[in-house]
């Protein structure tokens, strides 16, 4: 037997795929390539290379930032809805100053004979008055310009905070339905020929919502309680103020805010959509019932 003096076979040492000069025996658990300590990233099992981690991050669903009440957080701090509502009210006020006809055609009115002899009002099929009245304000009389000034100040003061925590569409829905609630209560219990204008119903709805949401998130509510009490005293002590509009707006705003604020997280989306729809349906039924009572022939 002769000895084998041939050289042993050469064995290759694995190296990092990104750094060929670095020996390593660790593989990426995703692509199975060799990776050095610099290229290792901890994974649920083993390690992954930087490319696989980056690819996984691109494919992962990014979470949408939410407010404490579950609304989509706005990408801008500008209260777009609040400023739009203020702009709409100011524009309508300028239109009123240009022509008194704007008030007669759009104010809240159950059913009455107009100066031109025509019978008009919600009971005559003019249901839009329930909404348009919340963008009008008294242009003369005992209040004059102070009517719109106070309402717009209140909207500017508390609107942005509510819009931020509720999100834009929830805030807008709350504002409009609160104003509608004020109109509907006036329509139900007021005299058919009693008219009203103003955003006060919607503003009172914001007052109620601010209180409810403040209690829910632990914010100070003393200032809004003080403001609300003062306004309720004025409402019931000064002649010419529609208490129905204020109370109707306050009740609707507080109820919707409670639905927004206390909805269980698992059913939050359903309740946030369902509560306004149910409220709108209930107000619609009340309007239809009152309309039949005032004008059965309609």
Instruction: Map 19-50 to HEC letters.
Output: CCCCECCCECCCCCCECCHHHCEECCCCEECH
Number of domains in the chain: 2
pLDDT digits (tens, 9 = 90+) for 173-219: 999 999 999 999 999 999 999 989 999 999 999 999 999 999 988 88
Instruction: Indicate whether 65 belongs to any domain.
Output: no
* Residue range of the domain that includes 33: 13-51
Cβ proximity of 12 and 5 under 8 Å: no
**Residue 26 sits in the same domain as residue 169:** no
CATH code (residue 290)? 1.20.1540.10
**Residue 142 sits in the same domain as residue 234:** yes
Is 195 part of the annotated catalytic residue set? no
Which one, of 263, 247, 285, lies nearest residue 170 by Cα?
A: 263
**Residue 43 sits in the same domain as residue 137:** no
The one-digit pLDDT tens for each residue of the chain (298 residues) are: 444 444 444 457 888 898 888 888 788 877 878 888 778 887 655 678 888 877 766 654 455 566 667 777 666 678 999 999 999 999 999 999 999 889 999 999 999 988 888 899 999 999 999 999 999 998 876 667 888 999 999 999 999 999 989 999 999 999 999 999 999 999 999 999 998 999 999 999 999 999 999 998 888 888 899 999 999 998 898 888 889 999 999 999 999 999 999 998 889 899 999 999 999 999 999 999 999 999 887 6
**Residue 34 sits in the same domain as residue 111:** no
Helix axes 80-98, 146-166, angle to 10 degrees: 160
Q: Which long-range contacts (CB under 8 A, 24 or more apart) does 272-281 make?
A: 272/70, 272/170, 276/173, 276/174, 276/177, 279/177, 279/181, 279/252, 279/255, 280/177, 280/180
φ, ψ for residue 237 (rounded to 5)? Answer: -115, -15
Which one, of 202, 201, 204, lies nearest residue 230 by Cα?
A: 204
Instruction: Indicate whether 5 belongs to any domain.
Output: no
Spell out the residues 6+ positions from residue 201 whose beta carbon is closer than 8 angstroms to its own.
Answer: 134, 178, 179, 180, 181, 182, 183, 245, 246, 248, 249
**Residue 120 sits in the same domain as residue 260:** yes
Q: How far apart are CA 28 and CA 8, in angstroms?
A: 31
Q: Which of 47, 137, 147, 246 is catalytic?
A: 246
Residue 89: enclosing H or E segment and its boundaries? helix 80-98
Q: Which of 137, 200, 242, 272 is catalytic?
A: 200
**Residue 118 sits in the same domain as residue 264:** yes
**Residue 37 sits in the same domain as residue 167:** no
Rounding to the nearest 10 degrees, give the CA dihedral for residues 228, 230, 235, 241: -100
Cβ proximity of 199 and 137 under 8 Å: yes
Q: How far apart are CA 81 and CA 61, in angstroms?
A: 29
Cβ proximity of 109 and 190 under 8 Å: no
Q: What percent of the chain has pLDDT over 70?
A: 88
Instruction: Indicate whether 159 belongs to any domain.
Output: yes
Is 200 part of the annotated catalytic residue set? yes
Cβ proximity of 205 and 178 under 8 Å: yes
């Amino acid at each position: 037997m002769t000895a084998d003096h041939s050289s042993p076979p050469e064995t290759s040492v694995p190296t990092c795929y990104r750094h060929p000069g670095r020996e390593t025996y660790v593989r990426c658990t995703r692509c199975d390539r060799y990776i050095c300590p610099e290229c290792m990233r901890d994974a649920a099992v083993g390690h992954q290379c930087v490319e696989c981690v980056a690819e996984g991050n691109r494919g992962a669903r990014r979470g949408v930032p939410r407010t404490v009440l579950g609304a989509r957080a706005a990408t801008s701090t500008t209260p777009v809805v609040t400023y739009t509502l203020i702009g709409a009210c100011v524009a309508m006020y300028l239109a009123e100053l240009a022509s008194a006809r704007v008030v007669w055609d759009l104010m809240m009115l159950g059913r009455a004979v107009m100066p031109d002899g025509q019978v008009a009002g919600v009971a005559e099929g003019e249901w839009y008055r329930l909404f348009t009245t919340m963008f009008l304000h008294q242009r003369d009389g005992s209040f004059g310009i102070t009517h719109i000034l106070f309402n717009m100040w209140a909207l500017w003061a508390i609107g942005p905070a509510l819009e931020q925590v509720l999100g834009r569409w929830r805030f807008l829905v709350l504002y409009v339905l609160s104003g509608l609630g004020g109109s509907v209560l006036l329509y139900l219990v007021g005299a058919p020929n009693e008219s009203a204008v103003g955003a006060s119903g919607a503003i009172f709805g914001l007052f109620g919502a601010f209180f409810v949401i403040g209690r829910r998130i632990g914010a100070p509510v003393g200032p809004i309680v003080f403001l609300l009490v003062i306004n309720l005293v004025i409402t019931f002590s000064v002649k010419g103020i529609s208490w129905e509009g204020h109370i109707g707006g306050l009740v609707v705003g507080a109820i919707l805010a409670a639905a927004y604020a206390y909805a269980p997280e698992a059913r939050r989306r359903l309740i946030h959509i369902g509560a306004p729809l149910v409220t709108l349906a209930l107000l619609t039924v009340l309007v239809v019932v009152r309309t039949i009572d005032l004008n059965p022939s309609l």
